[in-house]
Protein backbone atom coordinates (compact mmCIF):
# COMPACT_ATOMS: atom_id res chain seq x y z
CA UNK A 1 0.00 0.00 0.00
CA UNK A 2 1.18 3.52 -0.81
CA UNK A 3 0.26 6.68 1.13
CA UNK A 4 1.56 10.23 0.61
CA UNK A 5 3.78 11.65 3.34
CA UNK A 6 5.00 15.25 3.64
CA UNK A 7 7.55 16.49 6.18
CA UNK A 8 7.47 20.23 6.99
CA UNK A 9 10.80 21.54 8.30
CA UNK A 10 12.15 24.93 9.23
CA UNK A 11 14.26 25.07 6.06
CA UNK A 12 12.62 22.62 3.65
CA UNK A 13 9.36 20.83 2.89
CA UNK A 14 9.76 17.38 1.36
CA UNK A 15 7.47 14.50 0.53
CA UNK A 16 6.82 11.38 -1.50
CA UNK A 17 4.45 8.43 -1.72
CA UNK A 18 5.49 5.80 0.82
CA UNK A 19 5.38 2.04 0.39
CA UNK A 20 4.08 0.99 3.81
CA UNK A 21 4.85 -2.67 3.16
CA UNK A 22 8.55 -1.82 3.01
CA UNK A 23 8.64 1.33 5.13
CA UNK A 24 10.45 3.24 2.41
CA UNK A 25 9.78 5.89 -0.22
CA UNK A 26 8.03 4.55 -3.30
CA UNK A 27 9.40 7.38 -5.46
CA UNK A 28 12.20 9.91 -5.18
CA UNK A 29 11.10 12.66 -2.85
CA UNK A 30 10.22 16.16 -4.02
CA UNK A 31 11.52 19.07 -1.95
CA UNK A 32 10.89 22.82 -1.89
CA UNK A 33 12.29 25.51 0.38
CA UNK A 34 10.20 26.55 3.36
CA UNK A 35 8.91 30.08 2.69
CA UNK A 36 10.22 32.89 4.87
CA UNK A 37 8.28 33.90 6.82
CA UNK A 38 6.81 30.43 7.21
CA UNK A 39 3.18 31.56 7.45
CA UNK A 40 0.32 29.02 7.41
CA UNK A 41 -0.85 30.08 3.94
CA UNK A 42 2.67 30.12 2.50
CA UNK A 43 3.58 26.72 3.92
CA UNK A 44 0.23 25.23 2.87
CA UNK A 45 0.91 26.33 -0.69
CA UNK A 46 4.30 24.62 -0.62
CA UNK A 47 2.79 21.41 0.79
CA UNK A 48 0.30 21.46 -2.08
CA UNK A 49 3.16 21.92 -4.56
CA UNK A 50 4.91 18.84 -3.16
CA UNK A 51 1.75 16.71 -3.22
CA UNK A 52 0.79 17.80 -6.74
CA UNK A 53 4.25 16.92 -8.01
CA UNK A 54 3.07 13.31 -7.75
CA UNK A 55 -0.47 13.92 -9.07
CA UNK A 56 -1.63 12.45 -5.74
CA UNK A 57 -5.35 12.08 -5.05
CA UNK A 58 -5.57 10.04 -1.83
CA UNK A 59 -4.96 10.54 1.92
CA UNK A 60 -2.00 12.69 2.93
CA UNK A 61 0.01 12.64 6.16
CA UNK A 62 1.83 15.83 7.09
CA UNK A 63 4.33 16.51 9.87
CA UNK A 64 4.77 19.84 11.62
CA UNK A 65 7.74 21.05 13.74
CA UNK A 66 5.74 21.77 16.89
CA UNK A 67 3.06 20.47 19.22
CA UNK A 68 0.02 19.11 17.35
CA UNK A 69 -3.22 18.01 19.00
CA UNK A 70 -6.23 16.85 16.95
CA UNK A 71 -4.85 18.54 13.85
CA UNK A 72 -4.34 21.91 15.58
CA UNK A 73 -0.79 23.30 15.86
CA UNK A 74 -0.13 24.55 19.39
CA UNK A 75 3.46 25.81 19.13
CA UNK A 76 5.76 27.12 16.39
CA UNK A 77 9.30 27.63 17.66
CA UNK A 78 10.88 27.74 14.18
CA UNK A 79 7.82 28.75 12.17
CA UNK A 80 5.65 31.87 11.89
CA UNK A 81 3.62 32.49 15.07
CA UNK A 82 0.46 32.47 12.97
CA UNK A 83 0.61 28.68 13.31
CA UNK A 84 -0.14 28.82 17.04
CA UNK A 85 -3.74 27.69 17.43
CA UNK A 86 -4.21 27.10 13.68
CA UNK A 87 -6.36 24.21 12.45
CA UNK A 88 -3.57 22.88 10.26
CA UNK A 89 -5.46 19.79 9.13
CA UNK A 90 -8.40 21.87 7.87
CA UNK A 91 -6.13 24.44 6.23
CA UNK A 92 -4.11 21.83 4.37
CA UNK A 93 -7.22 19.87 3.36
CA UNK A 94 -8.66 23.01 1.77
CA UNK A 95 -5.40 23.74 -0.02
CA UNK A 96 -5.36 20.16 -1.33
CA UNK A 97 -8.88 20.32 -2.69
CA UNK A 98 -10.51 18.31 0.08
CA UNK A 99 -8.08 15.38 0.30
CA UNK A 100 -8.05 13.70 3.74
CA UNK A 101 -5.15 15.17 5.74
CA UNK A 102 -3.61 13.96 9.00
CA UNK A 103 -1.16 16.24 10.83
CA UNK A 104 1.23 15.25 13.63
CA UNK A 105 4.44 16.38 15.30
CA UNK A 106 7.45 15.84 13.04
CA UNK A 107 9.66 14.04 15.55
CA UNK A 108 6.77 11.83 16.66
CA UNK A 109 6.32 10.82 13.02
CA UNK A 110 10.03 10.06 12.63
CA UNK A 111 10.02 8.14 15.89
CA UNK A 112 7.06 5.94 14.95
CA UNK A 113 8.74 5.14 11.64
CA UNK A 114 12.02 4.24 13.31
CA UNK A 115 10.27 2.10 15.93
CA UNK A 116 8.35 0.23 13.22
CA UNK A 117 10.89 -0.10 10.41
CA UNK A 118 14.22 1.23 11.66
CA UNK A 119 16.67 1.46 14.54
CA UNK A 120 14.01 1.04 17.25
CA UNK A 121 12.28 -1.98 15.80
CA UNK A 122 11.81 -4.68 18.44
CA UNK A 123 13.22 -2.50 21.22
CA UNK A 124 11.43 -2.39 24.57
CA UNK A 125 12.17 -0.11 27.50
CA UNK A 126 12.54 3.64 27.08
CA UNK A 127 13.63 4.84 23.65
CA UNK A 128 14.15 8.49 22.72
CA UNK A 129 14.53 9.65 19.14
CA UNK A 130 16.08 13.09 18.68
CA UNK A 131 15.97 14.86 15.32
CA UNK A 132 18.85 17.30 15.00
CA UNK A 133 18.23 19.95 12.36
CA UNK A 134 16.90 23.52 12.37
CA UNK A 135 15.83 22.71 15.93
CA UNK A 136 15.77 19.57 18.05
CA UNK A 137 12.68 17.39 17.90
CA UNK A 138 12.03 14.46 20.21
CA UNK A 139 9.91 11.33 20.36
CA UNK A 140 9.65 9.34 23.59
CA UNK A 141 8.60 5.68 23.67
CA UNK A 142 8.01 3.32 26.58
CA UNK A 143 7.81 -0.33 25.52
CA UNK A 144 6.94 0.81 22.01
CA UNK A 145 4.19 3.25 23.02
CA UNK A 146 4.56 6.89 22.00
CA UNK A 147 4.25 9.72 24.51
CA UNK A 148 3.33 12.47 22.01
CA UNK A 149 4.56 16.06 21.75
CA UNK A 150 7.43 15.87 24.24
CA UNK A 151 9.43 18.73 22.65
CA UNK A 152 12.60 17.94 24.61
CA UNK A 153 14.59 20.26 22.36
CA UNK A 154 13.30 23.11 24.49
CA UNK A 155 14.78 21.86 27.74
CA UNK A 156 17.02 24.46 29.37
CA UNK A 157 20.72 23.82 28.87
CA UNK A 158 23.21 26.20 30.50
CA UNK A 159 20.56 28.91 30.67
CA UNK A 160 19.54 28.52 27.02
CA UNK A 161 16.91 26.67 25.03
CA UNK A 162 18.79 23.42 24.26
CA UNK A 163 18.17 23.58 20.52
CA UNK A 164 19.88 26.96 20.30
CA UNK A 165 23.10 25.24 21.43
CA UNK A 166 22.97 21.67 20.13
CA UNK A 167 20.96 21.75 16.89
CA UNK A 168 22.60 21.49 13.47
CA UNK A 169 21.54 25.09 12.86
CA UNK A 170 23.52 26.13 15.95
CA UNK A 171 26.55 24.27 14.58
CA UNK A 172 26.24 26.09 11.26
CA UNK A 173 25.38 29.52 12.69
CA UNK A 174 28.36 29.47 15.05
CA UNK A 175 30.67 27.64 12.62
CA UNK A 176 31.41 24.96 15.22
CA UNK A 177 33.81 22.13 14.50
CA UNK A 178 32.43 18.58 14.74
CA UNK A 179 34.35 18.18 17.99
CA UNK A 180 32.93 21.34 19.56
CA UNK A 181 29.41 20.54 18.42
CA UNK A 182 29.64 16.90 19.58
CA UNK A 183 30.60 18.19 23.02
CA UNK A 184 27.42 20.28 23.10
CA UNK A 185 25.33 17.32 21.94
CA UNK A 186 26.98 15.19 24.64
CA UNK A 187 25.98 17.66 27.35
CA UNK A 188 22.44 17.76 26.01
CA UNK A 189 22.20 13.95 25.92
CA UNK A 190 23.53 13.77 29.46
CA UNK A 191 20.79 16.16 30.60
CA UNK A 192 18.06 14.17 28.84
CA UNK A 193 19.50 10.92 30.22
CA UNK A 194 19.45 12.32 33.75
CA UNK A 195 15.73 13.11 33.38
CA UNK A 196 14.48 10.01 31.54
CA UNK A 197 17.10 7.20 31.85
CA UNK A 198 16.52 5.88 28.32
CA UNK A 199 17.85 2.54 27.15
CA UNK A 200 18.40 3.85 23.62
CA UNK A 201 18.93 7.19 21.89
CA UNK A 202 18.20 7.28 18.15
CA UNK A 203 19.72 10.31 16.40
CA UNK A 204 17.70 11.42 13.37
CA UNK A 205 17.59 14.35 10.99
CA UNK A 206 19.91 15.02 8.08
CA UNK A 207 22.98 14.66 10.31
CA UNK A 208 22.14 10.96 10.73
CA UNK A 209 23.75 10.47 7.30
CA UNK A 210 27.12 11.36 8.85
CA UNK A 211 27.22 9.46 12.18
CA UNK A 212 30.96 8.85 11.90
CA UNK A 213 31.57 12.60 12.14
CA UNK A 214 30.20 13.01 15.67
CA UNK A 215 28.92 9.83 17.39
CA UNK A 216 32.44 8.49 18.17
CA UNK A 217 33.18 11.82 19.87
CA UNK A 218 30.32 11.48 22.38
CA UNK A 219 31.39 9.94 25.70
CA UNK A 220 29.97 9.27 29.13
CA UNK A 221 26.41 8.40 28.06
CA UNK A 222 25.10 5.16 29.54
CA UNK A 223 22.38 4.60 26.94
CA UNK A 224 23.17 3.11 23.56
CA UNK A 225 23.31 5.78 20.82
CA UNK A 226 22.60 4.86 17.19
CA UNK A 227 21.80 6.80 14.01
CA UNK A 228 18.32 6.62 12.51
CA UNK A 229 18.16 3.91 9.84
CA UNK A 230 15.60 5.82 7.79
CA UNK A 231 17.76 8.94 8.15
CA UNK A 232 16.01 12.10 6.97
CA UNK A 233 13.16 10.18 5.32
CA UNK A 234 11.77 8.99 8.67
CA UNK A 235 9.36 11.93 8.98
CA UNK A 236 7.89 11.28 5.53
CA UNK A 237 7.39 7.59 6.34
CA UNK A 238 5.85 8.37 9.73
CA UNK A 239 3.51 10.94 8.17
CA UNK A 240 2.23 8.31 5.73
CA UNK A 241 1.80 5.85 8.61
CA UNK A 242 -0.30 8.40 10.50
CA UNK A 243 -2.52 8.98 7.48
CA UNK A 244 -3.02 5.23 7.09
CA UNK A 245 -3.81 4.88 10.81
CA UNK A 246 -6.39 7.68 10.56
CA UNK A 247 -8.05 5.74 7.75
CA UNK A 248 -8.18 2.71 10.03
CA UNK A 249 -10.54 4.54 12.39
CA UNK A 250 -10.77 7.04 15.27
CA UNK A 251 -8.23 6.53 18.02
CA UNK A 252 -5.88 4.42 15.96
CA UNK A 253 -2.29 5.32 16.95
CA UNK A 254 0.21 6.49 14.30
CA UNK A 255 2.07 3.22 14.76
CA UNK A 256 -0.94 1.07 13.90
CA UNK A 257 0.63 0.00 10.60
CA UNK A 258 2.82 -3.06 10.97
CA UNK A 259 5.96 -3.58 8.95
| Tens-digit pLDDT string for the chain (259 aa) | 899 999 999 899 999 999 999 999 999 999 999 999 999 999 999 999 999 999 999 999 999 999 999 999 999 988 999 999 999 999 999 999 999 999 999 999 999 999 999 999 999 999 999 999 999 999 999 999 999 999 999 999 889 999 999 999 999 999 999 999 999 999 999 999 999 999 999 999 989 999 999 999 999 999 999 999 999 999 999 999 999 999 887 554 443 332 2
Whether the model clears a pTM of 0.85, i.e. scores above it, the answer is yes
Instruction: Give residues with Cβ within 8 angstroms of 160, minimum separation 6.
Output: none
Q: Exposed, middle or buried by CB within 10 Å (0-12, 13-18, 19+), for 220?
A: exposed
In a domain, 55, yes or no: yes
Domain total for the chain? 2
Q: Can you say whether the dihedral through the CA atoms of 223, 227, 169, 11 is positive or negative?
A: negative
CA separation for the pair 238, 259 (Å, rounded): 12
Neighbouring CB atoms inside 10 A of 157's CB total 19
CATH code, domain with 39:
3.30.420.40
Residue range(s) defining the domain that contains residue 251? 2-108+233-256
Clarify whether residues 224 and 238 are in a common domain: no
In a domain, 202, yes or no: yes
Alpha helices, DSSP H, located in 3-82: 40-52
Clarify whether residues 206 and 220 are in a common domain: yes
Amino acid sequence: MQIMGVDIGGSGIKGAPVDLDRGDLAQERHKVLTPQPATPDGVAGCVAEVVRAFSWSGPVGVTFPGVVTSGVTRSAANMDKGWVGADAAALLARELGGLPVTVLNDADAAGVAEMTYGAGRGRDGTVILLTLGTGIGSALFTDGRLVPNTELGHLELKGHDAETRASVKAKEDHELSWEHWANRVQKYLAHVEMLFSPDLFIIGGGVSRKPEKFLPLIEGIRAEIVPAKLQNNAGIVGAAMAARAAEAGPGAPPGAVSA
